[in-house]
């Protein structure tokens, strides 16, 4: 739980020596509370103060790094609702493979996961992990499959099954991959925990009810094992939604550390609508890792799109890099279009120009990720900014067409732009990108 400035002040020496750069310990405490300073800036802070502040600054949901370099991050959340601030780390999407599915099916699934990529608003979205479920009786076969899956698809794994020996062997086979080992109940946990630790894997705990799960989690935390995920046993969509909400609320509102861990959920079933609904529930309601029952590009496309929207920081619009883009293979005499660097605007405008069949240049100045009208109203998309950006990238030496098309919504800047760009012809395009194709056919 975050500490107030007054609470922090009581942890400081109180000598007002000013060595931290603040006039008083209270002023420094206020900066710490506002996260504008670090406790290390006070050379006299006690170990107790550092420890207490360190704990207080931990997010209520533990951040866990997966993968060999621990760069695949889950957890770290601080709010219940995105609009309170932002969600921090996206639900990791995985695809399950059963060990008894047959070599052909398994090979095909591994290959599909490895190459799957969805391009959306400038991002490449992929399947980040593979769930491996042990159902067969061959423990060493399961370990070989784990090794093969890790090597073939280059994705960390989520290992689960009833045969603890098979899981241990598989965990060892992929040591260093930063995978997750699932342990159901206390008995399996006690056997798998040392192996997971030794091999650098996280552990996902599951238990028949929340109380048992919280008790197991608390026990592990007390023992120093905090790379934990929690798996809830639920039997309906409503229960899944409710359990996730109760657990996350307890972590964030009540600072209940035992439930302050990312959630792991294996989606089961064959009905694509039901499994999609279960996966959507995880993405929308706090899922840390969601394992889909099989590889289904249609399901993945919908889920990854939803996830991208939910996990976008509402205070930071998705942006593209400000620069001169090419559409098709434009020659120097091709026309220049200009728009803002708000991703959605950029992709709609560039798509419409591409659809028209011409090659062109698309000039995108820095507009802080705002759409055309918003940027214009905020003074971020003006004649001065466009002409200055043209100078910065030395557009004149690259383009001979001397024709630039501005969005119809900012027709009012055409006069000033003409003054700023002698020799250029300023064309006012349509207000809506959908009308660009007709405009291009009529005027270019």
Q: How many CB atoms lie within 10 A of CB 102?
A: 10
H or E segment at 443? helix 436-443
Q: Contact at 8 Å (CB) between 207 and 174?
A: no
* Tokens (6 digits) for 313: 């920081």
CB of 55 to ligand SF4, least distance (A): 19
Residue with tokens 């499994």: 275
CB of 417 to ligand SF4, least distance (A): 53
Q: Which is nearer to ligand SF4, 31 or 201 (CB)?
A: 31
* Site residues for ligand SF4 per CB under 6 A: 12-13, 15-20, 22, 25, 28, 42, 44
Hey, which bits of 274-420 come out as E strands?
287-292, 323-327, 336-338, 360-364, 403-406
Q: Which is nearer to ligand SF4, 31 or 257 (CB)?
A: 31
- Distance (Å) of CA 263 to CA 82, 158, 283, 303, 360: 17, 13, 11, 17, 47
CB of 6 to ligand SF4, least distance (A): 14
- Distance (Å) of CA 155 to CA 37, 144, 311, 437: 38, 15, 22, 42
CB of 4 to ligand SF4, least distance (A): 16
Q: Which is nearer to ligand SF4, 49 or 386 (CB)?
A: 49
CB of 93 to ligand SF4, least distance (A): 45
Q: Which is nearer to ligand SF4, 49 or 180 (CB)?
A: 49
- C-alpha 213/C-alpha 233 separation (Å) is 10
- C-alpha 300/C-alpha 114 separation (Å) is 14
CB of 2 to ligand SF4, least distance (A): 18
CB of 44 to ligand SF4, least distance (A): 5
**Residues 109, 115, 120, 125, Cα dihedral to 10°:** 70
- Distance (Å) of CA 78 to CA 45, 55, 286, 288, 290: 27, 14, 11, 13, 20
* Tokens (6 digits) for 89: 């780390």
* Rounded to 5°, angle at Cα 303 from 364 and 232: 135
Q: Which is nearer to ligand SF4, 17 or 111 (CB)?
A: 17
* Tokens (6 digits) for 14: 């109180």
Q: Which is nearer to ligand SF4, 25 or 259 (CB)?
A: 25
CB of 36 to ligand SF4, least distance (A): 14
CB of 43 to ligand SF4, least distance (A): 6
- C-alpha 364/C-alpha 340 separation (Å) is 5
Q: Which is nearer to ligand SF4, 49 or 289 (CB)?
A: 49
Q: Which is nearer to ligand SF4, 54 or 357 (CB)?
A: 54
Q: Which residue in 31, 32, 24 sits closest to 50, CA to CA? A: 32
H or E segment at 438? helix 436-443
SS3 category, 361: strand
Q: Which is nearer to ligand SF4, 41 or 107 (CB)?
A: 41
H or E segment at 229? strand 228-232
CB of 24 to ligand SF4, least distance (A): 6
Q: Which residues contact 80 (CB under 8 A, 6 or more apart)?
A: 248, 249, 252, 253
Q: Which is nearer to ligand SF4, 15 or 162 (CB)?
A: 15
Q: Which is nearer to ligand SF4, 24 or 374 (CB)?
A: 24
CB of 262 to ligand SF4, least distance (A): 35
């Amino acid at each position: 739980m975050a500490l107030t400035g007054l609470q922090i002040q009581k942890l400081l020496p109180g000598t007002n020596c000013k060595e931290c750069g603040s006039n008083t310990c209270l002023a420094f405490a206020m900066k710490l509370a506002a996260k504008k300073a670090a406790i290390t800036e006070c050379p006299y802070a006690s170990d107790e103060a550092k420890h207490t502040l360190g704990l207080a600054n931990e997010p209520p949901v533990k951040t866990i790094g997966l993968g060999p370099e621990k760069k695949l991050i889950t957890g770290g959340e601080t709010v219940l609702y995105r609009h309170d601030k932002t969600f921090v780390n996206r639900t990791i999407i995985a695809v399950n493979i059963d060990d008894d599915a047959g070599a052909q099916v398994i090979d095909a699934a591994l290959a599909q996961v490895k190459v799957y990529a969805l391009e959306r608003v400038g991002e490449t979205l992929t399947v980040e992990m593979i769930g491996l479920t042990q159902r067969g009786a061959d423990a060493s076969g399961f370990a070989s499959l784990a090794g093969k899956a890790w090597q073939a698809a280059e994705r960390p794994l989520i290992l689960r099954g009833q045969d603890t020996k098979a899981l241990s062997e598989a965990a060892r086979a992929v040591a260093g991959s930063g995978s997750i080992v699932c342990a159901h109940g206390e008995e399996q946990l006690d056997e798998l925990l040392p192996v997971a630790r030794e091999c650098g894997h996280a552990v996902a705990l599951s238990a028949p009810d929340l109380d048992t799960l919280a008790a197991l989690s608390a026990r592990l935390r007390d023992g120093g094992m905090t790379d934990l995920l929690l798996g809830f046993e639920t039997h309906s969509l409503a229960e899944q939604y409710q359990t996730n909400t109760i657990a996350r609320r307890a972590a964030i509102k009540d600072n209940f550390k035992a439930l302050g861990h990312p959630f792991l959920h294996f989606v089961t079933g064959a009905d694509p609508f039901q499994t999609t609904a279960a996966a959507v529930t995880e993405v929308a309601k706090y899922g840390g890792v969601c394992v889909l029952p099989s590889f289904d590009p249609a399901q993945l496309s919908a889920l990854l799109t939803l996830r991208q929207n939910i996990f976008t920081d509402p205070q930071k619009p998705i942006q593209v890099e400000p620069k001169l883009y090419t559409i098709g293979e434009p020659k120097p005499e091709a026309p220049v279009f200009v728009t803002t660097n708000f991703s959605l605007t950029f992709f709609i405008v560039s798509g419409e120009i591409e659809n028209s069949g011409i090659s062109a240049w698309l000039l995108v100045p820095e507009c802080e990720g705002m759409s055309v009208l918003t940027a214009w109203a905020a003074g971020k998309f003006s004649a001065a900014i466009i002409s200055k950006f043209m100078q910065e990238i030395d557009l004149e030496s690259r383009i001979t067409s001397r024709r630039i098309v501005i969005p119809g919504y900012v027709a009012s800047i055409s006069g000033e732009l003409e003054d700023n760009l002698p020799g250029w012809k300023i064309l006012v395009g349509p207000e809506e990108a959908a009308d660009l194709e007709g405009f291009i056919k009529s005027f270019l």
